[in-house]
Structure 1
Amino acid sequence: MEQPTPVAKRIDALVKLQEVDSKLDELRKIKGDLPEEVQDLEDEIEGYQTRITKFETEKKSLDDLAATQNNAIKDHQKLIVKYEEQHKDVRNDREFQAIAREIENQQLDIRLAEKAVRDTQYKIERKQKQVEETTATLEERKKDLDNKKNELEGIVKESEEEEAKLMKEREKRMKNIADNLYLSYERIRENARNGLAVVNVKRNACGGCFNIVPPQRQVDIKEKKKLVVCEHCGRVFADVEAVEVVEKKRTTRRKRVTKKEKEAEEKAKAEKAASKGK
């Protein structure tokens, strides 16, 4: 019995590793986009929490500003009371007019401060509304995240035993492949959409990118004396699949004879027999 070449052994090791990786890929496909959706929701929730913290910080600053403005109003009111007391002790019209102007100034400052308080209060209410709306959205996203996590955990639980078994099998098969060849294999897999780094030639074409493989290269692939890769996609060729030729059997269909044709044939036979008798 002919012993397999070292190259054939390397190809066989790659084929076995590809088989395991393809099964793992199928298990991961079952999870679909759930892991990414869970991660996206977690990032979104973190963003909402950061936004709420920012709104609350801004609201607190506005609360402090409103408190400062209200204190300023109280100070202006105290000064008005003070100036009104001084009115009682004025000695001339000039002092009276000066105190009156101070009172008017304080009243103007109060009106300005009250307007500032109203503006600040409006901003506070807007911030509070933003906090409430963002909090409501956050709670909805948390529910969505819980649902997605439960769905993902259910799928993982169903497939974790098989995945663990395949991972052990993968580690075992990796040991039969040289480091540099394994790195090349992984690089090809990363660039391949279907995760196939090792393929067969099917109907004279690459099983990965479907480009035509020349006949001479197919001979080299069959001989397995060297590693042959697709010149278009870089995938490693394992073998050339034989094309089954199915021959269609010809079936002879009997000609259907009509009643008239049958009668005419019998009449001709009878006439022929009669002529021989004569």
Structure 2
Amino acid sequence: MAKEAKNDPKELTVEQKLKALFQLQTMLSEIDKIKTLRGELPLEVQDLEDEVAGLSTRIDKIKSEIDELKSSIAAKKIEIESSKVSVDKYKAQQDNVRNNREYDFLSKEIEFQTLEIELCDKRIKEFAVDEKEKSDELEQSVAILDERKKDLDQKKNELDEIVSETKQEEEKLREKAKVLETTIEPRLLQSFKRIRKNSRNGLGVVYVQRDACGGCFNKIPPQRQLDIRSRKKIIVCEYCGRVIIDPELAGVELEPKVEKVEKTEKAGKK
């Protein structure tokens, strides 16, 4: 039962809560450093993956358009052959007409089919030009895709190498952080995470530095400094919202205030 009480966040003193928060902050900062080592590589890999996916989709679309153009050319060639058959048939019928009206009708049909052949030839040439342009575009897109794939493989290898070097350390830190989070009451933990997310340097807990907040460096009133040192309640900076602890709790030894010492010595001499 005693062990369970120790693990219950509600049973922790304010000082223990502050220590737990600072330890969690330290672990998360180490994880941030590991992420910094990876630099922009994850974003570069993501951008290249998106570009490769976009190019692949574009290439598929161009191929589909080329297939449609080829089908259109084939269809027009079939129409030409059909029109040629009709022309030959009408010319043969002209040899056996019984009057001028039939001859004129067949002549108009021959003319119409001839125009159809010319129109199909024109459309075939247009489709052929479009097909050539699409084929050139396809060739260029495939070349760009090959280059991007090479870049992606290189960036992935670089990222995998860095990740493999730091993965074990990061996993250990994350595991410890998870365990530590269970000792902090949910509301305080949620507040800490929100503050940390909104701060540029990712710090949700800071200690007093030269009578000022270690996060935004705004001066802290003397009475508030006493409250921080007493560790009786959780104090947050009224300017940046970070949780403030005293340096001793953070395990930091600050330099003595030399200026005040010098002034005191000079006053004593006078």
Shorter-chain TM range is 0.7 to 0.9
Aligned residue in 1 for 2:117: 110
User: Which residues of structure 2 form unaligned runs of 5+?
Assistant: 1-11, 248-252, 266-270
Higher-Rg member (1/2): 1
Aligned residue in 1 for 2:16: 9
Alignment map for 1:115-126 (pairs within 5 Å): 115-126=122-133
What letter matches 1:245 in structure 2? K
Indicate the SS of the match to 1:202.
coil
Q: Which range moves more in the overlay, 116-125 or 210-219?
A: 210-219
Alignment map for 1:228-239 (pairs within 5 Å): 228-239=235-246
Alignment map for 1:81-96 (pairs within 5 Å): 81-96=88-103
The separation in 1 between residues aligned to 2:33 and 2:18, in whole angstroms, is 22
Whether 1:245 and 2:260 are equivalent positions in the alignment is no
Whether 1:135 and 2:142 are equivalent positions in the alignment is yes
In the alignment of these two chains, the number of paired residues is 246
Alignment map for 1:59-70 (pairs within 5 Å): 59-70=66-77
Spell out, residue by residue over 1:38-85, the C-alpha distance to the aligned partner (whole angstroms, 9 max, x if none): 111111111111111111112212221111111111111111100111
Alignment map for 1:199-238 (pairs within 5 Å): 199-238=206-245
What letter matches 2:30 in structure 1? K
Aligned residue in 1 for 2:250: none
Spell out, residue by residue over 1:185-232, the C-alpha distance to the aligned partner (whole angstroms, 9 max, x if none): 111111111110000121222211222222221111111111000111
Work out which of the residue numbers 4, 20, 33 in structure 2 matches 1:26: 33
Deviation at 1:171, TM superposition (A): 2.5
TM-score (norm 2): 0.85
What letter matches 1:195 in structure 2? G
Aligned residue in 1 for 2:183: 176
Work out which of the residue numbers 194, 205, 210 in structure 2 matches 1:198: 205
TM-score (norm 1): 0.83
Deviation at 1:97, TM superposition (A): 2.5
Indicate the SS of the match to 1:237.
strand
Note if contact 1:220-1:226 (Cα within 8 Å) is conserved in structure 2.
yes
The separation in 1 between residues aligned to 2:77 and 2:69, in whole angstroms, is 12
What letter matches 2:184 in structure 1? I
Deviation at 1:242, TM superposition (A): 4.6
Spell out, residue by residue over 1:115-151, the C-alpha distance to the aligned partner (whole angstroms, 9 max, x if none): 1111111112222222211111111110011000000
Aligned residue in 2 for 1:151: 158
Root mean square deviation, CA, Å? 2.0
What letter matches 2:193 in structure 1? E
Spell out, residue by residue over 1:151-203, the C-alpha distance to the aligned partner (whole angstroms, 9 max, x if none): 00111111122212222322332232112211111111111111100001212
| Aligned residues with identical type, % of pairs | 44
Whether 1:188 and 2:195 are equivalent positions in the alignment is yes
Deviation at 1:243, TM superposition (A): 5.0
Q: Which range moves more in the overlay, 201-210 or 75-84?
A: 201-210
The separation in 1 between residues aligned to 2:197 and 2:257, in whole angstroms, is 36
Runs ≥4 in structure 1, deviation > 6 angstroms? none
Note if contact 1:205-1:213 (Cα within 8 Å) is conserved in structure 2.
yes
The separation in 1 between residues aligned to 2:218 and 2:85, in whole angstroms, is 92
What letter matches 2:197 in structure 1? E
Note if contact 1:203-1:243 (Cα within 8 Å) is conserved in structure 2.
no
Note if contact 1:199-1:238 (Cα within 8 Å) is conserved in structure 2.
yes
